Amino acid sequence: MPAVKPNAMTLTQQRLRDGFWLILPGLLVIFGITLFPIIYTFVLSFTETPISNPAPQGFVGFRNYLYFLSNPVFWAAIRRTLYFTVVSVGAELILGMGLALLIHARPFGWQFLRTSLIIPWAIPTIVNGAMWRWIYNADYGALNGLLYQLGIIDRYRAWLSEPVTAMNLVIVADIWHSVPFIALILQAALATIPRELEEAAAVDGANVWQRFWKIRFPLLQPAILVALVIRTVEAFRVFDIIYVITQGGPAFGTVTISYLTYLESFSYGRLGGGAALSFLISAFTLIMALLYIRLLYREDLR
């Protein structure tokens, strides 16, 4: 009979116990920083808690959720947020793809171009918003000065005084800041595509567009998916750049869903409603991420 190792199970259990005690501090940090605030906010969303006393109180069930889902102000903020997300992320993907293809072609100065792309992306969003607010300033802004010198306008304009114009100008600021992120991701993905595939397609008579659509684009789909999911989540919960440039104005024309959450929580002092809005934002972003995965994910690219 083979020799029995009576201490083998004990040794395994001891290793598991020692491993557990080693990772316990990390688990506590994760719970304290991530899980506990999520659980606390979830509980808060079912209460009528004022900001003056942030301890959960006044249980109201799903009333906060039903209030916003039936409130036209909420749906107006959702429409603005979707407009901001679709326009900004769509433009960033197109421009980022163009820059990635340009860098991949390695024209003269491509290394300088690739390095300089990091500068807009590295600027903090608050600083970026403050910079563009100065550019859009009605009295001394660079945009007015440039257009006036070129003769495009005959007088300085208050660019942020109209809701639609203000929203589009905020989108321009966000695009300038975020295009380099997508461009660098796609350029890195382009570098992994074997040149032999495109050379073989060119020999078979495929033109530039056919080589891009049939070879490059399918192989870029995993990178596009990553970039789209990250940027869509960031764009849908946009707050800081709007807070700096327009503060939700004019006439609430740039109030997105995240800015509405800020108003509900800190301006109106209703923490329960703000918590409910935060979970509604999470639900919408999860739905959009799943749609992206459904549209772009392919089994043969795993």
* pLDDT, tens digit (0-9, with 9 covering 90-100), for 215-227: 889 889 889 988 9
1 assigned to some structural domain = no
Specify the CATH number for the domain of residue 215. Answer: 1.10.3720.10
Task: State the average pLDDT over residues 194-220.
Answer: 85
Q: Which of 93-97, 198-202, 293-297 has the lowest mean pLDDT?
A: 293-297
pLDDT band at 2 (very low <50, low <70, confident <90, very high): low
pLDDT at residue 4 greater than cutoff 80: no
Decide if 181 is inside a domain. yes
What percent of the chain lies above the pLDDT cut of 70?
95
Least confident of 32-46, 120-134, 191-205, 242-256: 191-205
Q: 186-190, 251-255, 296-300: which has the minimum mean pLDDT?
A: 296-300
pLDDT at 3 over 60: no
- The arithmetic mean of pLDDT across residues 68-92, rounded, is 95
Confidence of residue 297 (pLDDT cuts 50, 70, 90): low
The reply to whether 162 falls in a domain is: yes
Residue 296 domain boundaries: 72-301
Least confident of 7-21, 41-55, 206-220, 240-254: 7-21
For residue 149, name the pLDDT band (cuts at 50, 70, 90).
very high
Residue 227 lies in a domain: yes
List, as one string, the DSSP characters of the chain. Answer: -PPP-TTHHHHHHHHHHHHHHHHHHHHHHHIIIIIHHHHHHHHHTTB--BTTS-S--SB-TTHHHHHHHT-HHHHHHHHHHHHHHHHHHHHHHHHHHHHHHHHHT--TTHHHHHHHTHHHHHS-HHHHHHHHHHHT-TTT-HHHHHHHHTTS-SS---GGGSHHHHHHHHHHHHHHHHHHHHHHHHHHHHTTS-HHHHHHHHHTT--HHHHIIIIIHHHHHHHHHHHHHHHHHHHHT--HHHHHHTTT-STTTT--HHHHHHIIIIIS-BHHHHHHHHHHHHHHHHHHHHHHHHHH--GGG-
Residue 87 lies in a domain: yes
User: Would you say residue 163 has pLDDT above 80?
Assistant: yes
pTM listed for this prediction: 0.87
| Mean pLDDT rounded to a whole number for the chain | 89
In a domain, 38, yes or no: no
The answer to whether residue 22 is domain-embedded is: no
The residue with greater pLDDT, 51 or 75, is: 75
Residue 54 lies in a domain: no
299 or 203, greater pLDDT = 203
pLDDT of residue 93: 95
Domain count, the chain: 1
